Amino acid sequence: MLNEELPFRYPVPAYQAGVQGNVMLRLFVDSSGRVVPDSTRVVEPSGHGALDSAALLGASRLQFRPARRRGIPIPVSLLFPVHFRRPGTNPLGGDSL
């Protein structure tokens, strides 16, 4: 991933309500390293529509170094977890970090 800052924004009402969750996205990254927005799908929802929507919106702003096969850039499909956490809270089941 080339982004210096993650493009995911915690929805303010969800943050204020203490809502947390994990969203697993399936991304299609083209051979230039850009996410194809229309191909992004939620494969494991958080259970909170606002978090799922925020994950989808942020995914469109991700940029990657192109995957390569034998030195040639290729498109890839990958799973990408997005975690929405309030500072100082315990990890949830399924957290990878």
pLDDT classification of 37: cutoffs 50, 70, 90: confident
Q: Is 75 exposed, middle or buried (0-12, 13-18, 19+ CB in 10 A)?
A: middle
Total-model pTM: 0.86
Whether residue 87 has pLDDT greater than 90: no
> Tell me: the pLDDT tens digits for 72-85?
999 999 999 999 99
Would the pLDDT of 3 be above 80?
yes
